[in-house]
Copies of this chain bind each other. A is one copy, B any other.
Amino acid sequence: MTGAAGDVQASRVVFETAPDRYRHWRVALDGPVAVLTMDVTEDGGLRGGYELKLNSYDLGVDIELYDAVQRLRFEHPEVRAVVITSAKDKVFSAGANIRMLAAAEHAWKVNFCKFTNETRNGIEDATACSGQTYIAAVNGTASGGGYELALACEHILLIDDRSATVSLPELPLLGVLPGTGGLTRVTDKRHVRRDLADYFSTRPEGLGGSKAVAWRLVDEAVPRSAWGETVAARAAEFAARSSRPVGATGIELAPLSKTRSDETVTYGHVSARLDHGRGVAEITISGPSQRPPADAAGIREQAAGFWPLAMTRELDDLVLDLRTNEGELGTWILRTEGDPALVLDYDRLLLASQGDWLVNEIIQYLKRTLKRLDVTSRSLLALVEPGSCFAGSLLELALAADRSYMLAGVFEDEDPGADPAVIAVGEMNLGPLPMGNGLTRLQTRFAGDPDALAAAEKHARQLLQAEDAERAGLVTFAPDDIDWAEEVRLAVEERSSFSPDALTGMEANYRFAGPETMETKIFGRLTAWQNWIFNRPNASGPDGALRRYGTGRRADFDRKRV
């Protein structure tokens, strides 16, 4: 199974894949409509010890889904509606594989849920921002994560055959939550009344037919006789409303050039040094090395080689790799190198060509990748040094960081003649790359301080040296050469000495100041509760519900409410 999605090489999970290697999904293209058919290979689990029956899934299945969603956006501009359906008889999807969950260690469960959540958010993002509307053609029972996948779609058709239902059986059967956005989407997206949602989520057999429609759990229940026709009609209707261009040609998401060892990860524009002794990953993102093309046509020509896209793909892959495979690297140091003016030039080109479908995809992808960073349970420290290019879209990295340190002046011993580091706010920081809470990172940073926000925005396109950047509140600290090494060393060492759990909790709170959205509620409220439940003996203990599932023995609960 070399090269299959999520293949574990040297026990590392690999996130890069391609359609010709899919084992669990089929992609069928028919003009404006794509059909993603889930057909999970039972013995194709990413790890041993469980069978992926009934279209249940593990991380490997979801890695393929993520890849498919990404490729539809970039490689198939002609696609305007995407139907997700199942190849199994009477079953849409049984959700996350329970034996996999029961056997998995806590960190694996949590990371798995995070990625699946991000993939489902990505499906909604494609619907909202790409003109590719996802439709769930639920042609058999959809339980748990199976229904949650449908919930991520804009429109849910359920086959009305007296047996197919949708359900969230996690609570009654497994003693955990529907953790892939289910609870949040049921009330906040589909507006199911909370008491009906409560009943629904305690009923393992679920609901189907007209009742599922009346309760808003699905949009329509369709008899088998009219199924194919109705799904096709709905897909055509959504496709007709799309803003996707006619006659455009996609670009290929060519394989990443990646070198991976225990100590380093290297791509074309992104690299990381993994320091297991200190528990640190030192990540460097290189800015563009040449001037941008003149226009959208030039971008299409460069295709996957166009710097913003290439860099984003590499960063995305690195984040996923480190999150999954390097749990003990608790601190990520973010550096950039290159010409800030060039970064701003690329940003300007992107924003001037936003109407172009490909440019839009690139911006949206960068947005999603930065969001991935926001919900990453690692401490993020940005170091702004001479030769760096934290400007515009790359300034977002510093704004996403928990703290940033910017050198005032230069390293006198190393390179006394260097230009001092500068940062620059650009148009890209003022709207196109919102966080999950719907605000820009600048707005979140200056939440409740409109004067500081206005001042920072007024600096747009100015190259700010450390003192000015600190004064504007754009960096946390601006030590000079004398203090730099000691201050940064202390910050990193200190971070590594703290409780990893407490850091995760603190960062999850501080990174999302201000309003909440469905997305932040999924990662904050829902995920935090699920993590707590996963960690409790009632779920994961030897007598807990997750472990006991399928043994014929009921879980032994500590009945005390907490």
Contact = CB atoms under 8 A, between A and B. Distances in A.
A500 B538 contact: yes
Nearest to A111: B562
Interface string A292-327: 000000000000000000000000000000000001
A168 to B, nearest CB: 9
A233 to B, nearest CB: 26
A419 interface: no
A171 interface: yes
Contacts of A176: 499, 502
Contacts of A477: 199
A202 B188 CA distance: 35
B194 A513 contact: yes
B513 A561 contact: no
A270 interface: no
Given A501-B562, A525-B524, A193 B512 contact: no
A406 to B, nearest CB: 12
A514 interface: yes
Given A107-B560, A513-B194, A558-B500, A188 B533 contact: no
Interface string A394-405: 000000011110
A227 interface: no
A89 to B, nearest CB: 31
Contacts of A476: 195-196, 198-199
A527 to B, nearest CB: 8
Interface string A508-532: 1111111110000100111011111
Contacts of A199: 403, 476-477
A473 B192 CA distance: 11
A508 B183 CA distance: 10
Interface in A388-423: 401-404
Nearest to A105: B560
Interface stretch (A51-59, A251-259, A439-447): A439-447
A177 B506 contact: yes
B171 A503 contact: yes
Given A449-B191, A509-B526, A562-B500, A403 B198 contact: yes
Contacts of A510: 183, 186-187, 194, 197-198, 201
A170 interface: yes
A230 interface: no
A403 B499 CA distance: 40
A45 interface: no
Interface in A487-510: 494-496, 498-510
A429 interface: no
A175 B448 contact: no
Given A175-B498, A199-B403, A562 B330 contact: no
A377 interface: yes
A432 interface: no
A505 B535 contact: no
A387 interface: no
Closest 4 CB pairs of A and B: A175-B499, A191-B448, A528-B528, A505-B529
Given A504-B529, A528-B531, 16 more contacts: A110-B562, A111-B562, A174-B502, A175-B502, A177-B509, A187-B447, A187-B509, A188-B447, A330-B559, A500-B558, A501-B538, A501-B562, A504-B561, A524-B525, A528-B529, A531-B562
